[in-house]
Chain A
């Protein structure tokens, strides 16, 4: 079965550079979520999109922006990277069904290292 696809899997950037992370949700999943998981930490919610519109916002820095496109894929843009941005970035998708008992489907994550 198709899963959530994230690219790239690994990314190394220097301080003050920009990075773009991509997420392709499971077909027919119209909601996308982004999470940041620092080393040894639990995932922290960044932002979510439903039907190409931002639906919720968490602890996302102003240096980050994200959008969902017409094909439902999403991109997380990160500018002026800082060392503290080094983390595993998860994308997850879900259908809007309120009866879903299977939670999110997570992608494998993008491991961003800022040097």
Chain B
């Protein structure tokens, strides 16, 4: 079965600290992409970071980094130096290809950054 699992419904982090949001995935495909999206209370989905299944190095985008452990099928998002504006829902997603691209989303983790 193809599935994304986010086991943390909610997380708190102190401002300026780092936080790790967990994501595990399940697929038998060899080629896939892993994404993290941020959804603030306003509702829009904002792309954060991407990791390809063949990428050997962990992806980084500014304060975001993706801890990719292929053997464990995990793709955790690390946010360094948390800011109040990071408070949002975070979705891990897997992109698969079977003629067209399709995304499977996890159930999300709600992050609250405390001042």
Given A42-B91, A42-B105, A55-B100; A103-B43 close (CB under 8 Å):
no
Supposing A42-B106, A48-B100, A56-B100 touch, asked if A102 and B50 sit within 8 A by C-beta, the answer is: yes
Q: Are B33 and A103 interface neighbours, CB within 8 A?
A: yes
A101 interface residue per 8 A CB criterion: yes
Q: Is the interface of B mostly helix, strand, loop or mixed?
A: strand
Give chain B residues whose Cβ lies under 8 Å from the Cβ of A48: 100, 102
Q: A101-B52, A103-B47 are in contact. Are A50 and B103 (CB under 8 A)?
A: no
In the complex, the answer to whether A43 meets B45 with C-beta atoms within 8 Å is yes
A interface footprint on B91-115 (CB within 8 Å = 1, 0 otherwise): 1010101011111111110000000
| Chain A residue at minimum C-beta to C-beta distance from B93 | A103
Within 6-58 of B, Cβ neighbours of A (below 8 Å) are at 33, 35, 37, 42-47, 50, 52
Query: Which chain A residues border B42 with CB–CB below 8 Å?
Result: 108
What is the size, in residues, of chain B's interface with A at 8 Å between Cβ atoms?
25
Chain B residues contacting A101 (CB-CB under 8 Å) are 33, 50, 52
Contact A105 B44 (CB under 8 A): no
A25 at the interface (CB under 8 A from B): no
Residue from B50, B52, B101, B105 in contact with A43 in the complex, judged by beta carbons closer than 8 Å: B105
A109 to B44, CA, bound (A): 6
The residues of B with any CB-CB pair to A shorter than 8 Å are 33, 35, 37, 42-47, 50, 52, 91, 93, 95, 97, 99-108
- List 24 A-B pairs, Cβ < 8 Å: A31-B100, A42-B106, A42-B107, A43-B45, A43-B103, A43-B105, A45-B103, A45-B104, A48-B100, A55-B100, A56-B100, A56-B102, A58-B102, A103-B37, A103-B95, A103-B103, A104-B103, A105-B47, A106-B37, A106-B46, A107-B44, A108-B44, A109-B45, A111-B43
Q: 5 shortest A-B CB distances, which residue pairs? A: A106-B45, A42-B105, A55-B100, A108-B44, A56-B100
Given contacts A43-B103, A44-B105, A45-B102, 11 further A-B contacts (CB under 8 A): A42-B105, A43-B105, A45-B103, A48-B102, A58-B102, A98-B97, A103-B33, A103-B50, A103-B103, A106-B47, A108-B44
